């Protein structure tokens, strides 16, 4: 089956098969009046208008509008039970999260609700969130467990994601996040909980191929640098690549740790230190920034400009979760990155496409519109990629194409 995308007014894409670092993030490849030839779901050629139309079995008409790569949301917690709206407003009023957590709230509140929720309920709410993501241009999403903190519920979350991956178009990359908090039944026994994860949960998850990554919340009063290292290295022994929640609330050094152990990404980084930035700049670890979380909590944004100017590989993601960021707006995410974080429009587009793909280890297959990659791209409602921020806060996705198939149309 040969599919041709014709009448492309503008094609705007980063290029590369491993992500892009530093100021090179701003070097989009812009072309006009082109066609894309897709064979068996893979981009086989990009040429001038009229080059491929005669050989097409099927036509997708871009109607003179702009084509960009599909978005990759590389950090989410989209499978959970219950909500925490009161806590969210309390944090805005000045309550500190670590104090809420110590009192059994925060993540622990969601753990209670998620343990109680039937798998069917998690599946249904997860499907709704994925449909919303797809309508806004997300074609690949990373999803974390971490709201069970035991064996059965962690597996329940991951199995729900595995089923959702098969039942709808958005690709789901699964991450085990047992190191999200110490559960209440292990209060005061962090070492025992780490042993439980390392000896009982991680081997089971790896054996059943339920996750691709292992993540940990490396934070003051949660998991220390050495505790985080122990969890992530154990995951690596079982073939789980590392991600890390790093330097979100205090400058603990999680970003530097992520670089040292070869994590695929270090995420949040609101409080990353100069040493952490230097370590990230010398590594292949993506610095994944989550501007909607800072916005929702009225906190300072991660230092995107310093990270990029230091030649780090920067990605953008949503962090959708029931506590600090129940926000699911990719138009808002990109606007915050450009308006408040000092990123250029070109850097922001690279960060949510090619570098987002790098942050889930898939930049060799998705994240850019170029020959040899999966035909995952978006057709916008306007003739230029600049409208993604110029039309501030508006969803301007007209069509989403996944593996050469139109999977969403506004």
pLDDT digits (tens, 9 = 90+) for 196-206: 999 999 999 99
Q: Residue 100: is its pLDDT beyond 90?
A: no
Q: Measure the CA–CA gap between 410 and 407, rounded to whole angstroms.
A: 10
| Euclidean distance between CA atoms 41 and 32, whole angstroms | 23
Burial degree of 407 (CB within 10 A; 0-12, 13-18, 19+):
middle
Fold designation for 72-358: TIM Barrel (3.20.20)
pLDDT in tens, 351-400: 999 999 999 999 999 999 999 999 999 999 999 999 999 999 999 999 99
Residue appearing with tokens 């998690």: 122
Cβ contacts of 208 within 8 Å, gap of 6 or more: 155
CB 100, CB 89: distance < 8 Å: no
Q: What is the mean pLDDT of residues 27-55?
A: 94
Residue 96 has pLDDT above 90, yes or no: no
Domain with CATH 3.20.20.140 in the chain: 72-358
Structural tokens at position 246: 């790093």
Query: pLDDT averaged over the chain?
Result: 96
- In CATH terms, the fold of domain 2-69+367-409 is Urease, subunit C; domain 1 (2.30.40)
This model's pTM is above 0.95: yes
Cα distance between residue 21 and residue 358, in whole Å: 11
Contact at 8 Å (CB) between 214 and 185? no
- What pLDDT score was predicted for residue 3? 97
Q: Which segments of the chain belong to CATH 2.30.40.10?
A: 2-69+367-409
β-pairing verdict for 71-73 and 397-402: unpaired
pLDDT at 297: 87
CA distance 366 to 368: 6
């Amino acid at each position: 089956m040969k599919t041709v995308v014709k009448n492309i007014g503008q094609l705007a894409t980063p290029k590369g098969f491993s992500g892009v670092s530093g100021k090179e993030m701003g070097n989009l490849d812009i072309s006009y009046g082109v066609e894309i030839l897709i064979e068996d779901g893979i981009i086989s050629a990009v040429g001038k208008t009229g080059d491929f139309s005669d050989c097409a079995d099927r036509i997708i008409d871009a109607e003179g509008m702009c084509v960009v790569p599909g978005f990759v949301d590389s950090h989410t917690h989209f499978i959970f039970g219950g909500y925490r709206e009161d806590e969210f407003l309390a944090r805005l009023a000045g309550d500190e999260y670590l104090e809420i957590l110590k009192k059994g709230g925060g993540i622990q509140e969601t753990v209670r609700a998620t343990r109680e929720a039937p798998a069917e309920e998690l599946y249904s709410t997860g499907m709704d969130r994925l449909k919303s993501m797809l309508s806004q241009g997300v074609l690949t999403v990373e999803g974390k467990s971490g709201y069970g903190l035991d064996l059965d519920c962690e597996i329940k979350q991951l199995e729900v994601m595995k089923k959702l991956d098969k039942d709808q178009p958005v690709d789901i990359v699964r991450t085990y996040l047992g190191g999200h908090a110490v559960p209440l039944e292990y209060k005061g026994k962090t070492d025992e909980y780490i042993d439980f994860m390392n000896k009982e949960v991680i081997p089971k998850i790896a054996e059943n191929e339920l996750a691709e990554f292992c993540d940990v919340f490396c934070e003051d009063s949660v998991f220390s640098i050495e505790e985080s290292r122990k969890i992530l290295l154990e995951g690596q022994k079982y073939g789980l690549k590392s991600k890390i929640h790093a330097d979100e609330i205090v400058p603990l050094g999680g970003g530097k740790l992520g670089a040292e152990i070869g994590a695929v990404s270090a995420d949040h980084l609101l409080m990353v230190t100069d040493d952490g930035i230097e370590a990230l700049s010398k590594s292949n670890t993506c610095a994944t920034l989550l501007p909607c979380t800072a916005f929702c909590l009225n906190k300072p944004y991660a230092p995107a400009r310093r990270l990029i100017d230091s030649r780090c590989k920067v990605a953008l993601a949503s962090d959708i979760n029931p506590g600090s960021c129940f926000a699911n707006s990719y138009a808002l995410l990109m606007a915050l990155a450009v308006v408040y974080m000092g990123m250029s429009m070109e850097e922001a587009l690279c960060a949510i496409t090619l570098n987002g793909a790098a942050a889930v280890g898939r930049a060799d297959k998705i994240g850019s519109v170029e020959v040899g990659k999966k035909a995952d791209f978006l057709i916008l409602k306007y003739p230029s990629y600049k409208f993604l921020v110029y039309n501030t806060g508006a969803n301007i996705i007209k069509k989403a194409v996944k593996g050469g198939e139109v999977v969403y149309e506004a």
